[in-house]
């Protein structure tokens, strides 16, 4: 005898877009964490029992819940309580907040924050340690908006033992003034010289930050994340949240480069585990970032001789890819500049594709490409993992630093034309964890208030295609295409309810859409109204 599962939840009277077939229904039935039926209101409501919860959607729009394919989960949660210098339009007002926050610190206590961007502040130079020395004696450190530079004061440099004689580490730069003294700006691998001496938080404080990040994700309609955080306790935090029943997100936890040697001895393959916690790819860096002018380029940044920083050579990339894929571990490689993307693509092409891991290869960011390299990217079999919100934030800086090369910056439509899988994320805390903003950026390629209109409009994609980046294509990138990313019987009951019909509203009004509620594994994870 076949037992009919008890229906726990029915949603009806809605505009439910499935990203599958049929493409639209009005009602859906959920048992436990799984969708068991979809269709019209009458047929689905017949499945109810006395224990079934019924939600009248009142015509609201429903999509598969979003997956953010690139987030630093713990760091995002921590950033919610730190100074955010992105909130300031000038260096002067940023320093005022730093001064005010510094006055309340105990002696020796570190002052930490993030979000500064010399380009956003209209500076033709990096900020200097003296800017901080004048207003705060405590050691302080502020990550740049792109996370690839650290601004510190003299107290921090002294504690780290960095002086005029300190050599820049491989893959990093200690910025210096005209006298050869450290200026207070550390780039790429040099960041760790200070980062590694900052006192760590307690495990309890880290867990609270993780929970804060989860709450923010659910509020944004996100039920899945690909976590690229670098904190030493990342996996312990996620395991603790999982074992205690607190982990509501479906997390794909990426390995770090420093995990490589251990993985070669004791490989745990990519995709191992079951939602909500699975092991992901090994994250590597091929270059830096645009804002810090460390993204690796073929031709110099405009008005300079700087070609950026290649943090791994092509041969080193080949080495990592070969050895990882041989034991079932996929690689997700950060590449922003055109040179870095070329190096990563060719490293993938040179490796044996007969024994690929369960999870696909990935290029994280894929921001600037040469047109000739795009067909090669297709041949490599890699997913392009991009963050649409970056193109809005980076527009002016990219125009200044990359010039006409920007024609193939964030080339979403071209990537889709070449049938390259394109998944989307936020890179939070660098950008806001908000897929609706990402969708708007991919569709309109400009800030809602930008009167200039779309930036390289020929690379705009449709609303549905942008949604796919956070749903169906995200499931492909995460190795869950058979059970996630769509609304269909047998798939996870992960849904987001929106305030407007995202597929019918004017593109100019996309920015006005809000998340009304999020259902994660059949449970209401967030709601701004009572159903």
What is the C-alpha separation between 196 and 239, in angstroms, rounded?
24
What is the C-alpha separation between 144 and 152, in angstroms, rounded?
11
* pLDDT per position as a tens digit, 153-169: 999 999 999 999 999 99
What is the C-alpha separation between 151 and 184, in angstroms, rounded?
6
What is the C-alpha separation between 58 and 161, in angstroms, rounded?
63
Cβ neighbours around 51 below 10 Å, total: 8
Give me the residues paired with residue 39 across strands.
27
Closest-CA residue to 325 (of 386, 379, 380): 380
The CATH number corresponding to 68-72+202-518 among 3.60.10.10, 3.40.50.720, 1.10.3720.10, 3.20.20.140 equals: 3.20.20.140
Q: Which pair of structure tokens corresponds to residue 472?
A: 């169906």
Closest-CA residue to 290 (of 385, 394, 373, 403): 394
pLDDT at 381: 94
Q: Is the pLDDT of residue 523 over 70?
A: yes
pLDDT at 520: 99
* pLDDT per position as a tens digit, 375-412: 999 999 999 999 999 999 999 999 999 999 999 999 99
Task: Tell me the CATH architecture of domain 74-195.
Answer: Roll (3.10)
User: What's the whole-model pTM score?
Assistant: 0.92
SS3 101: helix
Q: Is the pLDDT of residue 214 over 60?
A: yes
Q: Which pair of structure tokens corresponds to residue 189?
A: 């691998």
What is the C-alpha separation between 212 and 201, in angstroms, rounded?
15
pLDDT at 358: 86
3-state secondary structure 226-258: EECCCCCCHHHHHHHHHHCCCCCCEEEEEECHH
* pLDDT per position as a tens digit, 340-359: 999 999 999 998 776 678 89
The torsion of the CA quartet 496, 52, 483, 439, rounded to 10 degrees, works out to -10
Place of tokens 């490293």: 347
Contact 56, 13 (CB under 8 A): yes
Place of tokens 């000038």: 90
pLDDT at 354: 62
pLDDT at 1: 44
At 282, which helix (H) or strand (E)? strand 277-285
pLDDT at 292: 87
Q: Which pair of structure tokens corresponds to residue 529?
A: 């109204």
Q: Which pair of structure tokens corresponds to residue 456?
A: 């390289």
Q: pLDDT tier at 471 (50, 70, 90 boundaries)?
A: very high
Give me the residues paired with residue 113 across strands.
83, 142
Reported residue count of the chain is 531
What is the C-alpha separation between 76 and 25, in angstroms, rounded?
35
DSSP characters for 111-127?
EEEEEE-TTTTT-SS--
Q: Using DSSP bridges, classify how beta strands 331-335 and 362-365 pair: parallel, antiparallel or unpaired.
A: parallel
Average pLDDT, the chain: 96
Where are the domains positioned within the chain?
Answer: 68-72+202-518, 74-195
Give the strand order in the sheet containing 15-17. Answer: 24-25, 15-17, 61-64, 495-498, 515-520, 523-527
What is the C-alpha separation between 485 and 201, in angstroms, rounded?
35
Average pLDDT of the residues in 114-127: 90
Q: pLDDT tier at 3 (50, 70, 90 boundaries)?
A: low
Q: pLDDT tier at 477 (50, 70, 90 boundaries)?
A: very high
What is the C-alpha separation between 456 and 110, in angstroms, rounded?
43
Q: Is the pLDDT of residue 438 over 50?
A: yes
Range 308-313, long-range pairs (CB < 8 A, 24+ positions): 308/337, 308/339, 308/340, 309/171, 309/172, 309/173, 309/187, 309/188, 310/286, 310/339, 310/340, 310/343, 311/171, 311/188, 311/189, 311/285, 311/286, 311/287, 312/171, 312/284, 312/285, 312/286, 312/343, 313/343
Q: Which pair of structure tokens corresponds to residue 210?
A: 């993780």
At 131, which helix (H) or strand (E)? helix 129-133
pLDDT at 436: 99
Average pLDDT of the residues in 290-307: 95
What is the C-alpha separation between 317 and 363, in angstroms, rounded?
12
What is the C-alpha separation between 87 and 101, in angstroms, rounded?
15
What is the C-alpha separation between 181 and 248, in angstroms, rounded?
48
* pLDDT per position as a tens digit, 240-277: 999 999 999 999 999 999 999 999 999 999 999 999 99
DSSP code of residue 6? P
What is the C-alpha separation between 73 and 217, in angstroms, rounded?
9
At 495, which helix (H) or strand (E)? strand 495-498
What are the residue ranges of helices labelled H in 244-372? 260-265, 314-326, 338-349
* pLDDT per position as a tens digit, 28-86: 999 999 999 999 999 999 999 999 999 999 999 999 999 999 999 999 999 998 999 98
Q: pLDDT tier at 2 (50, 70, 90 boundaries)?
A: low
What is the C-alpha separation between 328 and 231, in angstroms, rounded?
23
Report the share of the chain in percent with pLDDT over 70: 99
Q: Is the pLDDT of residue 87 over 60?
A: yes
Contact 412, 386 (CB under 8 A): yes
Report the share of the chain in percent with pLDDT over 90: 92
Contact 148, 294 (CB under 8 A): yes
């Amino acid at each position: 005898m076949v037992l009919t599962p008890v229906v726990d939840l029915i949603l009806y009277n809605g505009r439910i877009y499935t990203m599958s077939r049929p493409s639209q229904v009005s009602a859906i039935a959920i048992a436990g964490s799984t969708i068991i039926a979809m269709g019209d209101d009458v047929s689905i409501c017949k499945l109810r029992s006395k224990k079934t919860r019924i939600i009248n959607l009142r015509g609201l729009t429903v999509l598969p819940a979003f997956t953010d394919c690139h987030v630093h989960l713990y760091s995002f949660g921590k950033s919610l309580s730190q100074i955010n210098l992105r909130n300031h339009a000038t260096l002067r007002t940023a320093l005022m907040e730093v001064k005010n926050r510094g006055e309340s610190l105990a002696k020796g206590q570190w002052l930490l924050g993030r979000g500064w961007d010399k380009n956003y502040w209209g500076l033709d130079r990096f900020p200097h340690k003296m800017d901080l020395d004048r207003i705060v004696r405590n050691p302080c450190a502020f990550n740049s908006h792109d996370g690839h530079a650290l601004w510190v004061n003299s107290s921090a440099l002294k504690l780290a033992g960095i002086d005029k004689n300190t050599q820049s580490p491989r893959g990093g730069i200690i910025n210096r003034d005209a006298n050869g003294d450290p200026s207070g700006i550390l780039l790429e691998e040099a960041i760790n010289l200070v980062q590694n001496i900052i006192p760590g938080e307690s495990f309890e404080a880290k867990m609270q930050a993780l929970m804060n990040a989860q709450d923010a994700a659910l509020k944004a309609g996100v039920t899945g994340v690909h976590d690229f955080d670098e904190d030493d306790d990342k996996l312990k935090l996620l395991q603790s949240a999982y074992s205690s029943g607190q982990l509501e997100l479906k997390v794909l936890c990426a390995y770090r480069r420093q995990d490589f040697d251990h993985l070669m001895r004791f490989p745990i393959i990519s995709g191992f585990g079951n939602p909500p916690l699975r092991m992901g790819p090994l994250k590597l860096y091929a270059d830096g970032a645009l804002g810090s002018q460390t993204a690796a380029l073929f031709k110099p940044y405009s008005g300079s001789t700087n070609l950026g920083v290649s943090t791994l050579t092509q041969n080193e990339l080949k080495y990592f890819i070969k050895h990882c894929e041989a034991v079932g571990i996929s690689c997700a490689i950060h590449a922003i500049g055109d040179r870095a993307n070329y190096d990563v693509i060719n490293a993938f092409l040179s490796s044996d594709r007969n024994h690929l891991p369960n999870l696909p290869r990935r290029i994280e960011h894929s921001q600037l490409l040469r047109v000739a390299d795009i067909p090669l990217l297709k041949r490599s079999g890699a997913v392009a993992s991009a963050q649409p919100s970056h193109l809005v934030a980076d527009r002016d800086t990219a125009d200044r630093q990359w010039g006409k090369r920007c024609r193939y910056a964030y080339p979403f439509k071209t990537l889709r034309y070449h049938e390259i899988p394109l998944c989307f994320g936020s890179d939070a805390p660098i950008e806001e964890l908000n897929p609706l903003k990402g969708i708007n950026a991919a569709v309109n390629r400009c800030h809602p208030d930008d009167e200039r209109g779309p930036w390289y409009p020929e690379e705009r994609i449709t609303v549905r295609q942008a949604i796919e980046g956070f749903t169906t294509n995200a499931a492909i990138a995460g190795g869950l295409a058979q059970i996630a990313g769509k609304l269909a019987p047998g798939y996870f009951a992960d849904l987001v309810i929106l305030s407007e019909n995202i597929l019918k509203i004017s593109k100019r009004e996309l920015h006005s859409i809000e998340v009304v509620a999020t259902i994660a594994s059949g449970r209401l994870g967030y709601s701004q109204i009572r159903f």
